Every structure is written in C-alpha cells, then in structure tokens.
Amino acid sequence: MLYAITGQDVAGSLDKRLAARPAHLERLQALQAEGRLVLAGPFPAIDSIDPGSAGFSGSLIVAEFASLEQAQTWADADPYVAAGVYASVAVKPFRKVLPA
C-alpha cells in the first residue's frame, strides 16, 4: 500500500537540512531503486522553485510499504528526524487515483 509521509520543518531548519540531505537522499534513492517511491520533495518556504535562504517548510514522500507500521518505522529513522530538521512527521495511508 502507498503511504504519504509529511514532515514539518522547525523554524530556521535550512542549515540542518543541508547537512543531513545526502543521507536523506540516499534513503530515498534506495526506495526508488526498489520501485517503491512514487514521489518525494520539499515544500519551499516561499513561492519559488529556489527559495534560497528562506529554506523549506517541510517535505512530502509518497512510497509503498507493507504496512503503516513499516512506513512509520521508516519515517522515524529519517536523517532529517535525527538532525532535528522536522518538528513533526505524519504518516497516512494514501490511495493514488490519478494519473492512472
């Protein structure tokens, strides 16, 4: 089943985010290599593809896991969690409708 994982950044997270980004991307690339990643990316803090020093307000990951528990365990182990980038993380089942 698919799960949507949303992380909400703490204020001023950009430096922490940049430091933890290589490890964060490595985990996402592993999901992609397994054919389980639907999409992933950050929410710019301002209305710009490149928010510069404004940074990001959070992230969205949609990926396949065997269960909600496994998705939560994966999300809890994210390097952004360990680095203090995220103030909170939510994991919810997700049903993709479009595009088919």
- For 17-32, the pLDDT digits (tens) are 999 999 999 999 999 9
Q: Report how far Cα 57 is from the mean position of its chain's Cα atoms.
A: 11
| Cβ atoms within 10 Å, residue 5 | 21
Q: Are 46 and 54 in contact (CB under 8 A)?
A: yes
- For 33-78, the pLDDT digits (tens) are 999 999 999 999 999 999 999 999 999 999 999 999 999 999 999 9
Domain range list for the chain: 2-94
Token pair, residue 41, equals: 């990316």
What's the CATH number of domain 2-94, 3.30.1600.10, 2.30.30.830, 3.30.70.1060, 3.40.50.720? 3.30.70.1060
